[in-house]
Amino acid sequence: MTTREIYEAVRGRGLVRSQRQFSKELLGMAANYAADAGFDQCSPTALLNLHRRLGELGQADLQAMVGQYLLGVEASVYDSTTRA
């Protein structure tokens, strides 16, 4: 699942109304973060914030998906730094 798909699921459940609200309240970043960075470029910090916040909201299924996605992001960041 991608960050965009997670956003769409969160929005579909009525937890946020916009990318701005998603950026601020769930990613813990500036209101323009998702629009400027793009959903596929979310930092590990933003994804950790999303994971924590989804847990607080009782969205365990989405939280688990973010955890799996975050592990994939962390692995790719690690791989790219160790190949040099």
Residue 21 or residue 75, greater confidence = 21
Which pTM value belongs to this model? 0.81
pLDDT one-digit tens code per residue, 64-73 = 999 998 888 6
pLDDT at 75 > cutoff 60: no
- Give the whole-angstrom CA distance, residue 14 versus residue 52: 18
pLDDT one-digit tens code per residue, 13-47 = 999 999 999 999 999 999 999 988 888 888 999 99
